[in-house]
Amino acid sequence: TSPSIHCPPKKRDPKERRIHVMKMLRFRSPSNRSLDQEVLCTIRLLDDSEISCSIQRDTKGQFLLDHVCNHYNLLEKDYFGIRYVDPEKQRHWLEPNKPVARQMKLAQQPYTMCFRVKFYPSEPMKIKEELTRYLLYLQLKRDIYHGRLLCPFAEAAYLGACIVQAELGDYDPEEHPSDYIRDFKLFPKQSLKLERKIIEIHKNELRGQCSALAELNMLQRAHSLETYGVDPHPCKDFTGSTAFLGFTAKGFVVFQGNKRIHLLKWTDVSKLKFEGKTFYVIGIQKEKKLVLTFHTLTPAACKHLWKCGVENQAFYKCAKSSQIKTVCSSNIFFKGSRFRYSGRVAKEVIEASSKIQREAPEVCRYAQFGQSRSFNSLSHKNLIMNMEPLLPALPSTTECEDTTGDNGRTSEQANTCSWLPNEVEPEDEDEGSSPLTISELAYSPCASMLPTPIDDSQRGVDVLFSSPAQSPARMLRELHADPEIQARLEAERERDRAYDGLRLLSSNERVNTCLLSVARFVAVVMGVLLVTVPTLLLLLESDIDVSFLHEIRQTPEFEQFHYEYYCPLRRWILYGC
DSSP assignment of 305-359 equals HHHHHHHHHHHHH-SSGGG---EE-S-SS----EE---S--HHHHHHHHHT--SP
Q: Check if the beta carbon of residue 375 is closer than 8 Å to that of residue 177.
A: yes
Averaged pLDDT for residues 159-188:
91
Question: Please, which contacts does 255-258 make with residues 24 or more away whose CB atoms are closer than 8 Å?
Answer: 255/227, 255/230, 255/419, 257/419, 257/420, 257/421, 258/150, 258/419, 258/420, 258/421, 258/435, 258/437
Q: Check if the beta carbon of residue 96 is closer than 8 Å to that of residue 61.
A: yes
Averaged pLDDT for residues 425-443:
38
- Report which of 248, 243, 394, 307 is spatially closest to residue 92, judged by C-alpha positions: 307
Q: Check if the beta carbon of residue 39 is closer than 8 Å to that of residue 52.
A: no
Predicted confidence at residue 97, as pLDDT, reads 93
Kindly tell me if the per-residue pLDDT of 480 is higher than 90: no
Amino acid at 7: C
* Range in 28-32, 65-69, 227-231 the model is least confident about: 28-32
d(CA 92, CA 523): 35
Domain ranges of the chain: 35-117, 233-354, 532-576
Buried-state track 80-104, b at ≥16 Cβ within 10 A, e below 16 = bbbbbbbeebbbbbbbbeebbbebb
- Report which of 59, 23, 17, 19 is spatially closest to residue 41, judged by C-alpha positions: 59
Kindly tell me if the per-residue pLDDT of 258 is higher than 70: yes
Q: Check if the beta carbon of residue 278 is closer than 8 Å to that of residue 301.
A: no
Q: Check if the beta carbon of residue 438 is closer than 8 Å to that of residue 159.
A: no
- Report which of 405, 393, 444, 452 is spatially closest to residue 145, judged by C-alpha positions: 444
Predicted confidence at residue 7, as pLDDT, reads 46
Query: Whole-model pTM?
Result: 0.64
Kindly tell me if the per-residue pLDDT of 231 is higher than 90: yes
Q: What is the pLDDT of residues 319-329, one digit of tens each?
A: 998 888 888 87
Strand partners of residue 111: 41
d(CA 18, CA 15): 5
Q: Which residues have a Cβ under 8 Å from the Cβ of 192 and sit 6 or more positions away? A: 427
d(CA 94, CA 67): 14
d(CA 309, CA 230): 12
Predicted confidence at residue 546, as pLDDT, reads 72
Any idea which architecture 233-354 has in CATH? Roll (2.30)
Secondary structure (3-state) at 555: coil
End-to-end CA distance of the chain: 70
Averaged pLDDT for residues 228-237:
95
Q: Check if the beta carbon of residue 214 is closer than 8 Å to that of residue 162.
A: yes
Predicted confidence at residue 2, as pLDDT, reads 47
Kindly tell me if the per-residue pLDDT of 450 is higher than 60: no
Q: Which helix (H) or strand (E) holds 55?
A: strand 50-56
Q: What is the pLDDT of residues 331-390, one digit of tens each?
A: 655 557 888 888 899 999 999 999 999 998 888 887 665 333 333 333 333 333 333 333
d(CA 345, CA 240): 35
Burial class (CB in 10 A: 0-12, 13-18, 19+), 363: middle
Predicted confidence at residue 250, as pLDDT, reads 94
CATH class of 35-117: alpha beta
Q: Which residues have a Cβ under 8 Å from the Cβ of 359 and sit 6 or more positions away? A: none
* Range in 248-262, 403-417, 481-495 the model is least confident about: 403-417
Kindly tell me if the per-residue pLDDT of 484 is higher than 60: yes
Kindly tell me if the per-residue pLDDT of 442 is higher than 70: no
- Report which of 535, 531, 540, 545 is spatially closest to residue 568, judged by C-alpha positions: 540
d(CA 314, CA 247): 11
- Report which of 106, 94, 91 is spatially closest to residue 64, judged by C-alpha positions: 94
DSSP assignment of 348-408 equals HHHHHHHT--SPPPPP-PPPTT-SSS-GGG--HHHHHHHHSPP--SS--TTT--S-SSSS-
Averaged pLDDT for residues 458-463:
36
Checking DSSP bridges between strand 91-93 and strand 50-56, what pairing results, if any?
unpaired
Averaged pLDDT for residues 460-478:
46
d(CA 219, CA 436): 19
Predicted confidence at residue 455, as pLDDT, reads 36
d(CA 382, CA 391): 17
Q: Tally the residues of the chain.
A: 577
Q: Which residues have a Cβ under 8 Å from the Cβ of 3 and sit 6 or more positions away? A: none
d(CA 279, CA 243): 13
Predicted confidence at residue 23, as pLDDT, reads 46
- pLDDT bin (cut points 50, 70, 90) of residue 263 is very high
Secondary structure (3-state) at 19: helix
Kindly tell me if the per-residue pLDDT of 524 is higher than 80: yes
- pLDDT bin (cut points 50, 70, 90) of residue 487 is confident
Predicted confidence at residue 1, as pLDDT, reads 44
Predicted confidence at residue 418, as pLDDT, reads 42
Averaged pLDDT for residues 228-246:
94
- Report which of 223, 235, 309, 233 is spatially closest to residue 269, judged by C-alpha positions: 309
Q: At what angle do helices 472-481 and 483-541 cross, to 10 degrees?
A: 70
Peptide bond into 110 cis (omega under 30): yes
Burial class (CB in 10 A: 0-12, 13-18, 19+), 375: middle
Cα-to-chain-centroid distance, residue 306: 11
Q: Give the C-alpha distances (Å, rounded to integers) separating 281 from 278, 334, 336, 446, 574.
A: 10, 19, 17, 29, 50
Amino acid at 190: Q
- pLDDT bin (cut points 50, 70, 90) of residue 425 is very low
- In eight-state DSSP terms, residue 87 is T
Predicted confidence at residue 404, as pLDDT, reads 41
Kindly tell me if the per-residue pLDDT of 130 is higher than 90: yes
* Range in 170-174, 252-256, 270-274, 558-562 the model is least confident about: 558-562
Question: Please, which contacts does 378-381 make with residues 24 or more away whose CB atoms are closer than 8 Å?
Answer: 378/183, 380/183
- Report which of 206, 182, 204, 203 is spatially closest to residue 194, judged by C-alpha positions: 182
Secondary structure (3-state) at 100: helix
Comparing 182 with 217, the larger pLDDT belongs to 217
* Range in 56-70, 209-223, 429-443 the model is least confident about: 429-443
Q: Check if the beta carbon of residue 422 is closer than 8 Å to that of residue 437.
A: yes
Predicted confidence at residue 478, as pLDDT, reads 60
